[in-house]
Amino acid sequence: MIRVAAVGTSMITGRFAAAVAQCSGITLQSVHSRDPQRAADAAVRLGAVRPSSSWAELLASDDVDAVYLASPNALHAGQALDVLAAGKHVLLEKPACTTPEQFVQVVSAARAGGLVALEAIRSLYDPGYDLIHRLLDDLGPLRRASFRFHQRSARYDKVLAGEAVNVFDPSMGGGALFDLGVYCVHAMVDLLGAPESVQGFAVPVAGGADGAGAGLARYPGLVADLSYSKITVGDSTSSISGEAATLLIDHLGDPRQLRVERVDGSREEFTVDKRGEDPLANMLDCVEHFVAAVEGQVSITADQERSILAARVIAELRSGSSGRPLASAPSVSTNGPERDA
């Protein structure tokens, strides 16, 4: 049984706790907050065995095997390295880190310690992505793709009122690209692989974070665009077009309805077989993958490489470059055992 501690006490930790409760092989041992009372309240609310409010105590504890990081993005890398140095597995909320170099360091430390470090990009463990992969084969040579995620955040009202909030704070790794664009980037690199070059454009909000943005990615014979926003509402249908047909995906974070529209005018609808109506139910798919990885039943080398590639694309989108070739990948140290190989 994997005894996991969750770091953070916001909504997403509650969703993680609910997934853990439904998943065999893992149990919620602790909830960690900087504030002892918040930790105690959250431990009761989420059904954890005990609260934690001392980072050093949590790292030293021998009743915790793994840590789920649902802290602000800028803290993930340092916390993950602490967790791995303490001999514990780590599941990092998306985006795993704010630079590719940081995540490479995390993966290197995990491999050296024979531990698992996995990015919790829940959408990619959704059964909808298996179906999307299968349907790609029917589209013919791929020419255009559009990956979109637009969801106005209630926290933008606080920004407009002059308050600082983590999700719009650049020093905390906030902004639309890290928060929502990450789903577009992961979908793109998972489905299409590494682009030759990318170029990004951002719409800054007060405080300097990107409230919305767009990107272009060039592949041989194919162009993909990415569109993400936390400050506007809009259509989040994504599409992938080949010369034979276009695949429409209703939502990258929770794909349910897929449609293939063929050049001969025919259409076919596909409903993804899901666990229920809950749009975050695929957190359970992700937790199950983490458990299987810790138990040594699945390799996560490809997941880690995809996360590194996604981080490289995000770094390039953020750089303001004019579409230069994608920088080469920082290399993962191969010292030490590779538990997940």
Ligand X SMILES: NC(=O)c1ccc[n+]([C@@H]2O[C@H](COP(=O)([O-])OP(=O)(O)OC[C@H]3O[C@@H](n4cnc5c(N)ncnc54)[C@H](OP(=O)(O)O)[C@@H]3O)[C@@H](O)[C@H]2O)c1
Rounded distance, CA 26 to CA 114, Å? Answer: 19
Rounded distance, CA 321 to CA 315, Å? Answer: 10
Sheet holding 142-150, edge to edge: 197-204, 210-219, 222-229, 142-150, 238-242, 245-249, 257-262, 267-271
CB 65 within 8 A of CB 88: yes
Which one of 52, 61, 73, 153 is in contact with ligand X (CB under 6 A)? 73
Cα–Cα distance list, 144 to 108, 220, 235, 247, 329 (Å):
35, 11, 18, 11, 25
Q: How far apart are the first and last CA of the chain?
A: 21
Which one of 27, 166, 237, 301 is in contact with ligand X (CB under 6 A)? 166
Beta strands in the chain (DSSP E): 2-7, 26-32, 50-52, 66-69, 89-93, 117-120, 142-150, 197-204, 210-219, 222-229, 238-242, 245-249, 257-262, 267-271
Asked if 94 is part of the footprint of ligand X (rule: CB under 6 A), the reply reads yes
Contacts 24+ apart (CB under 8 A), 52-58: 52/5, 55/82, 58/5, 58/30, 58/32
Rounded distance, CA 253 to CA 123, Å? Answer: 5
Asked if 51 is part of the footprint of ligand X (rule: CB under 6 A), the reply reads no
Rounded to a whole number of angstroms, the minimum distance from the CB of residue 50 to ligand X is 15
Identify which of residues 35 and 268 has a Cβ nearer to ligand X in the complex: 35
> Which among 72-80, 100-108, 196-204, 287-295 is the span making contact with ligand X, rule CB under 6 A?
72-80
Which one of 112, 248, 280, 298 is in contact with ligand X (CB under 6 A)? 280
Identify which of residues 124 and 245 has a Cβ nearer to ligand X in the complex: 124
Rounded distance, CA 25 to CA 195, Å? Answer: 37
Rounded to a whole number of angstroms, the minimum distance from the CB of residue 196 to ligand X is 28
Asked if 317 is part of the footprint of ligand X (rule: CB under 6 A), the reply reads no
Strand partners, 268: 260
Task: Tell me, residue by residue from 74 to 93, as one string, x for binding to ligand X by CB under 6 A and - for no binding.
Answer: -x-----------------x
Segment holding 188, helix H or strand E: helix 182-192
Identify which of residues 73 and 227 has a Cβ nearer to ligand X in the complex: 73
Asked if 126 is part of the footprint of ligand X (rule: CB under 6 A), the reply reads no
Among 172, 157, 284, 297, smallest CA distance to 230 is for 157
Which one of 23, 46, 61, 72 is in contact with ligand X (CB under 6 A)? 72
Which one of 9, 108, 238, 246 is in contact with ligand X (CB under 6 A)? 9
Asked if 34 is part of the footprint of ligand X (rule: CB under 6 A), the reply reads yes
Rounded to a whole number of angstroms, the minimum distance from the CB of residue 247 to ligand X is 23
Rounded to a whole number of angstroms, the minimum distance from the CB of residue 291 to ligand X is 17
> Which among 67-75, 144-152, 264-272, 311-319 is the span making contact with ligand X, rule CB under 6 A?
67-75
Amino acid at 304: Q
Asked if 203 is part of the footprint of ligand X (rule: CB under 6 A), the reply reads no
Rounded distance, CA 185 to CA 326, Å? Answer: 14
Asked if 35 is part of the footprint of ligand X (rule: CB under 6 A), the reply reads yes
Asked if 10 is part of the footprint of ligand X (rule: CB under 6 A), the reply reads yes
Identify which of residues 247 and 308 has a Cβ nearer to ligand X in the complex: 308
Identify which of residues 115 and 182 has a Cβ nearer to ligand X in the complex: 182
Asked if 223 is part of the footprint of ligand X (rule: CB under 6 A), the reply reads no
Asked if 167 is part of the footprint of ligand X (rule: CB under 6 A), the reply reads yes
Asked if 144 is part of the footprint of ligand X (rule: CB under 6 A), the reply reads no
> Which among 30-38, 43-51, 131-139, 231-239 is the span making contact with ligand X, rule CB under 6 A?
30-38
Rounded distance, CA 105 to CA 153, Å? Answer: 32
Instruction: Point out which residues bind ligand X (CB under 6 A).
Output: 8-10, 12, 33-35, 38, 70-73, 75, 93-94, 122, 166-167, 179, 280
